[in-house]
Chain A
Amino acid sequence: GAGVSQSPRYKVAKRGQDVALRCDPISGHVSLFWYQQALGQGPEFLTYFQNEAQLDKSGLPSDRFFAERPEGSVSTLKIQRTQQEDSAVYLCASSIFLVNEQFFGPGTRLTVL
Protein backbone atom coordinates (compact mmCIF):
# COMPACT_ATOMS: atom_id res chain seq x y z
CA GLY A 1 0.00 0.00 0.00
CA ALA A 2 0.94 3.65 -0.25
CA GLY A 3 3.29 5.03 2.33
CA VAL A 4 3.45 8.51 3.83
CA SER A 5 3.71 11.15 1.14
CA GLN A 6 4.85 14.75 1.44
CA SER A 7 4.70 17.69 -0.91
CA PRO A 8 6.46 19.57 -2.19
CA ARG A 9 9.68 17.59 -2.00
CA TYR A 10 11.73 20.76 -2.36
CA LYS A 11 10.81 24.33 -1.54
CA VAL A 12 12.89 27.46 -1.95
CA ALA A 13 11.57 30.56 -0.21
CA LYS A 14 12.81 34.09 0.15
CA ARG A 15 13.26 35.29 3.68
CA GLY A 16 9.97 36.63 4.97
CA GLN A 17 7.74 34.49 2.77
CA ASP A 18 5.13 32.11 4.15
CA VAL A 19 5.31 28.42 3.23
CA ALA A 20 2.94 25.47 3.60
CA LEU A 21 4.13 21.88 3.68
CA ARG A 22 1.71 19.01 3.20
CA CYS A 23 1.68 15.50 4.63
CA ASP A 24 -0.56 12.60 3.57
CA PRO A 25 -0.29 9.85 6.19
CA ILE A 26 -0.92 6.17 5.65
CA SER A 27 -4.66 5.56 5.46
CA GLY A 28 -6.10 4.68 8.84
CA HIS A 29 -3.15 5.96 10.85
CA VAL A 30 -4.49 7.93 13.77
CA SER A 31 -1.22 9.44 14.95
CA LEU A 32 0.75 11.98 12.93
CA PHE A 33 4.06 13.61 13.82
CA TRP A 34 6.17 16.41 12.36
CA TYR A 35 9.94 16.56 12.79
CA GLN A 36 12.60 19.02 11.70
CA GLN A 37 15.98 17.70 10.55
CA ALA A 38 18.80 20.19 10.23
CA LEU A 39 21.76 19.33 8.02
CA GLY A 40 23.94 16.67 9.63
CA GLN A 41 21.63 16.25 12.62
CA GLY A 42 18.97 13.83 13.75
CA PRO A 43 15.30 14.70 13.41
CA GLU A 44 13.80 16.80 16.20
CA PHE A 45 10.18 16.60 17.24
CA LEU A 46 7.90 19.50 16.37
CA THR A 47 4.30 18.46 16.99
CA TYR A 48 1.89 15.52 17.30
CA PHE A 49 -1.72 14.92 16.29
CA GLN A 50 -4.11 12.21 17.33
CA ASN A 51 -6.82 12.36 14.69
CA GLU A 52 -7.59 16.09 14.38
CA ALA A 53 -6.46 16.97 17.90
CA GLN A 54 -3.03 18.53 18.31
CA LEU A 55 -1.95 16.94 21.58
CA ASP A 56 1.64 18.11 21.75
CA LYS A 57 3.19 21.16 20.13
CA SER A 58 6.06 21.55 22.53
CA GLY A 59 8.69 21.27 19.81
CA LEU A 60 7.49 24.12 17.61
CA PRO A 61 10.40 26.59 17.71
CA SER A 62 8.37 29.79 17.54
CA ASP A 63 4.89 31.15 17.01
CA ARG A 64 5.73 31.44 13.32
CA PHE A 65 5.20 27.69 13.09
CA PHE A 66 1.66 26.39 12.90
CA ALA A 67 0.31 22.91 12.11
CA GLU A 68 -3.19 21.65 11.47
CA ARG A 69 -5.00 18.43 10.64
CA PRO A 70 -8.62 19.54 10.35
CA GLU A 71 -10.19 16.26 9.21
CA GLY A 72 -7.85 13.89 10.97
CA SER A 73 -6.05 12.84 7.80
CA VAL A 74 -3.94 15.26 5.76
CA SER A 75 -1.81 17.66 7.76
CA THR A 76 -0.23 20.98 6.85
CA LEU A 77 2.75 22.60 8.53
CA LYS A 78 2.82 26.33 7.93
CA ILE A 79 5.78 28.58 8.55
CA GLN A 80 5.17 32.29 8.49
CA ARG A 81 7.80 34.93 7.72
CA THR A 82 10.47 32.33 7.04
CA GLN A 83 13.98 32.90 8.34
CA GLN A 84 17.27 31.37 7.19
CA GLU A 85 17.42 29.24 10.34
CA ASP A 86 14.21 27.54 9.19
CA SER A 87 16.17 25.85 6.39
CA ALA A 88 15.93 22.10 7.07
CA VAL A 89 14.21 18.92 5.99
CA TYR A 90 10.72 18.64 7.44
CA LEU A 91 9.65 15.06 8.05
CA CYS A 92 6.18 13.72 8.60
CA ALA A 93 5.50 10.35 10.21
CA SER A 94 2.35 8.41 11.00
CA SER A 95 1.49 5.44 13.16
CA ILE A 96 -1.39 3.24 14.18
CA PHE A 97 -2.91 4.25 17.49
CA LEU A 98 -1.30 2.60 20.51
CA VAL A 99 1.60 1.26 18.43
CA ASN A 100 4.85 3.16 18.66
CA GLU A 101 6.33 2.29 15.27
CA GLN A 102 6.33 5.39 13.09
CA PHE A 103 6.45 5.38 9.29
CA PHE A 104 8.24 8.33 7.74
CA GLY A 105 7.64 10.23 4.55
CA PRO A 106 10.47 11.33 2.24
CA GLY A 107 10.53 14.82 3.70
CA THR A 108 10.34 18.34 2.31
CA ARG A 109 13.66 20.14 1.97
CA LEU A 110 13.09 23.82 2.71
CA THR A 111 15.76 26.33 1.74
CA VAL A 112 15.29 29.93 2.83
CA LEU A 113 17.41 32.43 0.95
Chain B
Amino acid sequence: GNSVTQMEGPVTLSEEAFLTINCTYTATGYPSLFWYVQYPGEGLQLLLKATKADDKGSNKGFEATYRKETTSFHLEKGSVQVSDSAVYFCALSSTGTASKLTFGTGTRLQVTL
Protein backbone atom coordinates (compact mmCIF):
# COMPACT_ATOMS: atom_id res chain seq x y z
CA GLY B 1 0.00 0.00 0.00
CA ASN B 2 0.86 3.67 -0.06
CA SER B 3 3.05 5.18 2.63
CA VAL B 4 4.89 8.42 3.35
CA THR B 5 7.96 8.83 5.51
CA GLN B 6 9.13 12.25 6.62
CA MET B 7 11.88 13.38 8.90
CA GLU B 8 11.06 13.59 12.55
CA GLY B 9 10.99 16.89 14.30
CA PRO B 10 11.08 19.18 15.88
CA VAL B 11 13.30 21.19 13.59
CA THR B 12 14.56 24.37 15.21
CA LEU B 13 16.10 27.07 13.03
CA SER B 14 17.08 30.68 13.37
CA GLU B 15 15.31 33.21 11.20
CA GLU B 16 16.75 33.45 7.67
CA ALA B 17 18.22 29.95 7.84
CA PHE B 18 17.78 27.42 5.03
CA LEU B 19 15.13 24.78 5.54
CA THR B 20 14.92 21.23 4.25
CA ILE B 21 12.31 18.73 5.40
CA ASN B 22 12.81 15.32 3.85
CA CYS B 23 9.93 13.25 2.51
CA THR B 24 10.01 9.90 0.74
CA TYR B 25 7.12 7.81 -0.41
CA THR B 26 6.03 4.35 -1.50
CA ALA B 27 3.16 4.08 -3.95
CA THR B 28 1.97 2.18 -6.96
CA GLY B 29 1.62 4.02 -10.23
CA TYR B 30 2.12 7.76 -10.44
CA PRO B 31 0.77 9.48 -7.35
CA SER B 32 0.27 13.18 -6.82
CA LEU B 33 2.37 14.67 -4.02
CA PHE B 34 1.48 17.41 -1.57
CA TRP B 35 2.79 19.44 1.30
CA TYR B 36 0.20 20.61 3.82
CA VAL B 37 0.87 23.04 6.67
CA GLN B 38 -0.90 23.32 10.00
CA TYR B 39 -0.33 26.61 11.81
CA PRO B 40 -0.98 26.71 15.57
CA GLY B 41 -4.70 26.62 16.25
CA GLU B 42 -5.62 26.35 12.57
CA GLY B 43 -6.69 23.65 10.14
CA LEU B 44 -4.62 21.95 7.45
CA GLN B 45 -3.83 24.13 4.46
CA LEU B 46 -2.41 23.04 1.14
CA LEU B 47 1.05 24.59 0.76
CA LEU B 48 2.08 23.17 -2.62
CA LYS B 49 1.63 20.18 -4.89
CA ALA B 50 3.12 18.33 -7.85
CA THR B 51 1.24 15.91 -10.04
CA LYS B 52 3.94 14.30 -12.17
CA ALA B 53 7.62 13.47 -12.14
CA ASP B 54 10.04 16.42 -12.27
CA ASP B 55 7.25 18.90 -11.50
CA LYS B 56 8.21 21.57 -9.00
CA GLY B 57 5.55 22.91 -6.67
CA SER B 58 6.11 26.30 -5.11
CA ASN B 59 4.28 28.72 -2.85
CA LYS B 60 5.22 31.40 -0.29
CA GLY B 61 8.92 30.81 -0.94
CA PHE B 62 8.65 27.07 -0.35
CA GLU B 63 9.56 24.59 -3.09
CA ALA B 64 9.48 20.83 -3.60
CA THR B 65 10.40 18.77 -6.65
CA TYR B 66 8.75 15.45 -7.49
CA ARG B 67 11.67 13.00 -7.90
CA LYS B 68 10.44 9.68 -9.14
CA GLU B 69 13.89 8.11 -9.31
CA THR B 70 14.43 8.66 -5.58
CA THR B 71 10.70 8.59 -4.65
CA SER B 72 11.18 11.87 -2.82
CA PHE B 73 9.45 15.22 -2.43
CA HIS B 74 11.66 17.24 -0.09
CA LEU B 75 10.42 20.62 1.09
CA GLU B 76 12.87 23.56 0.94
CA LYS B 77 12.88 27.24 1.71
CA GLY B 78 15.84 29.53 1.33
CA SER B 79 15.16 31.85 4.26
CA VAL B 80 12.65 30.95 6.95
CA GLN B 81 10.70 33.44 9.04
CA VAL B 82 9.25 33.18 12.51
CA SER B 83 5.81 33.09 10.89
CA ASP B 84 6.74 29.79 9.19
CA SER B 85 6.63 28.02 12.55
CA ALA B 86 4.07 25.25 12.06
CA VAL B 87 3.69 21.52 11.48
CA TYR B 88 4.35 20.38 7.92
CA PHE B 89 2.82 17.22 6.46
CA CYS B 90 3.90 15.43 3.31
CA ALA B 91 1.09 13.51 1.61
CA LEU B 92 0.24 11.60 -1.54
CA SER B 93 -2.85 10.56 -3.41
CA SER B 94 -3.10 7.81 -5.96
CA THR B 95 -3.62 8.43 -9.63
CA GLY B 96 -7.13 9.04 -10.81
CA THR B 97 -10.19 10.77 -9.56
CA ALA B 98 -10.59 12.29 -6.12
CA SER B 99 -8.63 9.94 -3.96
CA LYS B 100 -7.82 9.61 -0.31
CA LEU B 101 -4.65 11.22 0.99
CA THR B 102 -1.95 9.26 2.77
CA PHE B 103 -0.02 11.49 5.16
CA GLY B 104 3.34 11.36 6.86
CA THR B 105 3.53 11.88 10.60
CA GLY B 106 4.34 15.56 10.31
CA THR B 107 7.42 17.66 11.10
CA ARG B 108 7.20 20.51 13.56
CA LEU B 109 9.25 23.57 12.57
CA GLN B 110 10.17 26.16 15.16
CA VAL B 111 11.83 29.34 13.91
CA THR B 112 13.45 31.66 16.43
CA LEU B 113 14.75 35.22 16.18
Q: Does A2 contact B (CB under 8 A)?
A: no
With a cutoff of 8 Å between Cβ atoms, the chain A residues found around residue B36 in the complex are 104
CB within 8 Å for A97 and B98 given contacts A42-B89, A44-B103 = yes
On whether A42 and B106 interact (CB within 8 A), knowing A91-B43, A100-B32, the answer reads yes
Which residues in B have some Cβ–Cβ distance to A below 8 Å?
4, 32, 36, 42-46, 49, 51, 89, 91, 93, 97-106
| Distance between Cα atoms of A33 and B100 in the complex (Å) | 7
The reply to whether B103 and A106 contact each other, CB–CB distance below 8 Å, is no
What residues of chain B lie closer than 8 Å to A45, measured between beta carbons?
A: 100-102
Is chain A's binding surface mostly helix, strand, loop or mixed?
A: loop
A residues sitting closer than 8 Å to B (CB atoms) are 4, 30-31, 33, 35, 40-45, 48, 50, 56, 59, 91, 93, 95, 97-107
Taking CB atoms, residues of chain B closer than 8 Å to A106 are: 42-43
Evaluate contact between A97 and B97: CB separation under 8 angstroms. Answer: yes
Residues from chain B with a CB closer than 8 A to the CB of A43 are 44, 89, 101, 103
Query: Among the listed B32, B100, B104, which residue makes an inter-chain contact with A48, where contact means beta carbons less than 8 Å apart?
Result: B100
From A33, which residue of chain B is reached at the shortest CB distance?
B100
Minimum Cβ distance to chain A for residue B31 (Å): 9
Partner of B43, one of A40, A42, A48, A105: A105
Collect the chain A residues with CB atoms within 8 Å of residue B42's CB.
106
Told that A56-B100, A95-B98 touch, could you supply 9 new A-B pairs with CB distance under 8 A? A45-B100, A45-B101, A48-B100, A99-B98, A100-B98, A101-B49, A104-B43, A104-B44, A107-B43
By a CB distance below 8 angstroms, the chain A residues around B46 are: 101-103
**Which chain A residue lies CB-closest to B99?**
A100
Asked if residues A41 and B106 are in contact (CB atoms below 8 Å), the reply is yes
